[in-house]
Amino acid sequence: MSDALSRLTPEQYRVTQQDATGPPYRSEFWDHHEAGLYVDVVSGEALFASVHKYDSHTGWPSFTVPVAPGNVVERADNSHGMVRVEVRSAEGDSHLGHVFSDGPVDGGGLRYCINSAALRFVPVDDLDAEGYGAYRELFGPSAVDP
């Protein structure tokens, strides 16, 4: 894992390893609409899919559900005078962001508010080549048989 950490940008390190928050409305994925998978920038574990992404009007990428619930762990965060639930990647232990209960009701009611700096994006067309082919079915029938 130390090799992966050495490849991070200062912002990625600050967010994933020091629990920082990236800026709203100026991050790489807050307004990103391409079909694909978002993975942990440190460990590569699959975290979120574009099909579960929505505009929460907060300035950060927001998702209704992780692609594999076991890849995202939650823990209490009482920092900054607030009571929140932090989300981290299970394998990489990267700080991802927070989960809130104000998400779309038809999507389960949760909003995973995630820092772009904690993510790497894998387009649908690259899923197989990058070892994420098992997630292709999330993107519908046209993505299953490329």
11 — alpha (psi -120 to 50), left (phi > 0) or beta?
alpha
Greater confidence (142 vs 101) lies with 101
Residue 144 pLDDT:
58
What CATH number is given to the structural domain containing 77?
Answer: 2.170.150.20
Residue 138 in domain: no
Residue 145 pLDDT:
54
- Which residue among 113, 114, 119, 127 is the active-site one? 113
| 77-82 mean pLDDT | 82
| 54-83 mean pLDDT | 92
Residue 140 in domain: no
| 47-71 mean pLDDT | 96
Q: 80-83 long-range CB contacts below 8 Å, 24 or more apart?
A: none
Residue 141 in domain: no
| 133-144 mean pLDDT | 85
Give pLDDT tens digits for 113-125.
999 999 999 999 9
Phi first, then psi: give them for residue 95, nearest 5 degrees.
-70, 125
CA-based nearest residue to 14, from 95, 104, 109, 101: 95
As for how many domains the chain has, the answer is 1
**Full-model pTM:** 0.93
Residue 55 in domain: yes
| 89-99 mean pLDDT | 97
Range of the domain at 40: 2-124
Residue 30 in domain: yes
pLDDT band at 54 (very low <50, low <70, confident <90, very high): very high
Q: Is 132 a catalytic residue?
A: no
Residue 143 pLDDT:
65
Residue 60 in domain: yes
| 29-35 mean pLDDT | 95
Q: What percent of the chain has pLDDT over 90?
A: 86
Residue 15 pLDDT:
97
H helix intervals, the chain: 2-6, 10-18, 141-144
Residue 91 in domain: yes
Residue 103 in domain: yes
Contact between residue 21 and residue 27 where contact means Cβ atoms under 8 Å apart:
no
